[in-house]
């Protein structure tokens, strides 16, 4: 039988990765965090002072970026040129630049190519912004996640606090608003709900309810 692809898209900090990981664990699917890829590219660009307006510099820098996923316990561990960067890509310097890097066509073409290869013959769950629209337009199930911006910022702020990050609630809220703005208005594959994506608003529902919602739509496909 054909492999199954589940695409989860939505705004920043809507809990896409939380539900994707839970589903992957339950279904024994591979989870791929596409945002981690854009974040790792951004980290490389930051460290090497790549000028985002210089297309040649971006193209040649991309050739030196080698990403790999190592899935332990369905958490996504990503390496950048064999260095584990899973923690560093979540920190504010990367969060503040990643949506600018993600507007670049050269970057998107390369990420999409790698993502499509990962979904070729395996059962996967991939989350991001353009998974149901561009990466896997024929995905077996598409979810589009959304939640109240204040609730999202509070959740992300708590996460960062627990990790000991030195950040304010206002910075987190502004960063989410800024990324949503860039992600939805960019020219190159903007964040938009695919016509056949099912909306999942989790402002007021808990993780167990989200999981049930998704499983009810996935189990019939298996
Ligand atoms: O998913 P996460 O919030 O970690 O993604 C970080 C950023 O990467 C997003 O704000 C967006 O700018 C970009 N991104 C993207 N396309 C994807 C996944 C992430 O443009 N498929």
Which is the closest atom of ligand 1 to the Cα of 180? 10
| DSSP per-residue string spanning 192-205 | ---TTPEEEE-SS-
| Per-residue pLDDT at 69 exceeds 70 | yes
Q: Which residues contact 122 (CB under 8 A, 6 or more apart)?
A: 3, 29, 30
Q: What does the domain layout of the chain look like in residue ranges? A: 5-221
- Whole-model pTM over 0.90: yes
The radius of gyration of the chain's CA atoms, rounded to the nearest angstrom, is 17
Substitution candidate for ligand 1 out of 12, 18, 35 with most atoms within 8 A of CB: 35
Neighbours of 202 (CB within 10 A): 23
The pLDDT tens digits of the residues spanning 12-53 come to 999 999 999 999 999 999 999 999 999 999 999 999 999 999
Q: Is the ipTM of this complex over 0.85?
A: yes
Could you tell me whether strands 30-33 and 5-10 are parallel, antiparallel, or unpaired per DSSP bridges?
Answer: unpaired
Does the pLDDT of residue 200 top 90, yes or no?
A: yes
**Of 102, 105, 156, 181, best ligand 1 pocket probe by most atoms within 8 Å of the beta carbon:** 102
Beta-strand relationship, 124-128 and 5-10: parallel
Q: Which fold has domain 5-221?
A: Rossmann fold (3.40.50)
Give the model confidence (pLDDT) of 94-115 as tens digits.
999 999 999 999 999 999 999 9
CB neighbour list of residue 156: distance below 8 Å, 6 or more residues apart: 12, 13, 172, 176
What average pLDDT does this structure show over 139-151? 97
Among the ranges given (61-65, 135-139, 155-159), the one the predictor scored with the smallest mean pLDDT = 155-159
Looking at residue 134, its pLDDT comes to: 98
Nearest to 92 by CA among 11, 164, 21, 185: 164
């Amino acid at each position: 039988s054909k492999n199954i692809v589940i695409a989860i898209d939505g705004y920043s900090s809507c809990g896409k990765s939380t539900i994707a990981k839970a589903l992957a664990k339950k279904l024994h699917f591979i989870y791929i965090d596409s945002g981690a890829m854009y974040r790792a590219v951004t980290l490389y660009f930051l460290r090497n002072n790549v000028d985002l307006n210089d297309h040649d510099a971006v193209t040649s820098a991309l050739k030196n970026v080698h990403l790999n996923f190592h899935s332990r316990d369905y958490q996504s561990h990503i390496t950048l040129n064999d260095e584990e960067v899973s923690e560093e890509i979540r920190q504010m310097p990367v969060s503040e630049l990643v949506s600018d890097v993600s507007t670049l066509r050269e970057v998107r073409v390369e990420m999409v190519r790698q993502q499509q290869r990962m979904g070729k013959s395996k059962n996967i769950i991939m989350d991001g912004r353009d998974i149901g629209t561009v990466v896997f337009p024929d995905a077996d199930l598409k979810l589009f996640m959304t939640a109240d911006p204040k609730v999202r910022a509070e959740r992300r702020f708590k996460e960062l606090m627990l990790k000991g990050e030195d950040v304010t609630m206002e910075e987190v809220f502004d960063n989410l608003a800024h990324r949503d703005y860039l992600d939805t208005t960019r020219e190159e594959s903007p964040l938009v709900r695919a016509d056949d994506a099912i909306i999942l608003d989790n402002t007021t529902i808990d993780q167990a309810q989200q999981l049930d919602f998704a499983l009810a739509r996935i189990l019939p496909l298996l």
